[in-house]
Amino acid sequence: MDDKDLKRHVEDALNWEPSFDAADIGVSVDNGVVTLRGDVTSYAARATAERVTLRVYGVEAVANDLNVRLPGERERTDSDIAQAAVNALQWNTMVPTERVAVAVSSGWVTLNGSVDWQYQKDAAARAVRDLTGVRGVNNGITVEPHVRWGDVRDKIEAAFKRSAEIDARRINVTATDGKVILSGNVRSWAEREEAERAAWAAPGVTQVDDRLSVTP
């Protein structure tokens, strides 16, 4: 697929997404690398536009240069956003209580603290991402699992083989002292994300170094 066709597919995917208006999003493509420019009305829309783009077949990487321009009715003070973020985290069953701290500056939410699993870190970011007034999220939460380091490599490879979305034959796994390195190639960005998610799901993993290449 050449860049012209890929650009059209990305634009079609963005226009098909019902959760935001893609009218002000510009798309350019250079050797499979997609750049998004323009304005969106929320940080959630910015993140969704990136995710939608990455799931288009043929996309190798995305440079997200979208600006968040909040409509006047969505403007909130940092104090309002901070209180809303604290409440959202407290009400989220996937986020451990009293393990995550919140700071807000000019609409940007910074999360700090430590959790046992990557999914808890991701859940904390999702909980505050969609709040009114948020312009961006810095996720500084660290993953510090309290489990013994076992035969993680075999467990991750077994998870790959169980997945209908992953071709395990094309992925190499190296695991040492909590760090997992994934190398090889995958057919799409969605498969790359699924492989990384499966690696993070293994007990004891504190870092995933994703070196997978997207080769459609």
4 by DSSP, 3-state: which? Answer: helix
Regarding whether 62 and 13 lie in a shared domain, the answer is: yes
- Decide which of 35, 54, 69 is a domain's last residue: 69
- Decide which of 124, 143, 162 is a domain's last residue: 143
Backbone angles phi, psi at 155, to 5 degrees: -65, -40
pLDDT single digits (tens) 13-47 = 999 999 988 989 999 999 999 999 999 999 999 99
How many domains does the chain divide into?
3
> Is residue 146 predicted with pLDDT exceeding 80?
no
Q: Say what the pTM is.
A: 0.69
> Is residue 148 predicted with pLDDT exceeding 70?
no
Averaged over 76-95, what is the pLDDT? 95
With both helix axes pointing from N to C terminus, report the angle between 152-162 and 189-200 in degrees, rounded to the nearest 10: 140
Regarding whether 138 and 79 lie in a shared domain, the answer is: yes
Domain that includes residue 166, residue range? 152-214
Residue 195's Cβ-count burial label (10 Å; 0-12, 13-18, 19+) is: buried
Regarding whether 139 and 158 lie in a shared domain, the answer is: no
Averaged over 92-108, what is the pLDDT? 94
Q: Which CATH number covers residue 132?
A: 3.30.1340.30
> Is residue 215 predicted with pLDDT exceeding 90?
no
Cα–Cα separations (whole angstroms), residue 32 to 29, 182, 186: 6, 21, 14
pLDDT confidence of 149, banded at 50, 70, 90? low
Regarding whether 80 and 65 lie in a shared domain, the answer is: no
Owner of token pair 């799409």: 188
- Decide which of 23, 45, 69 is a domain's last residue: 69
What is the pLDDT, as a whole number, of residue 183?
A: 94
Number of Cβ atoms within 10 Å of the Cβ of 29: 22
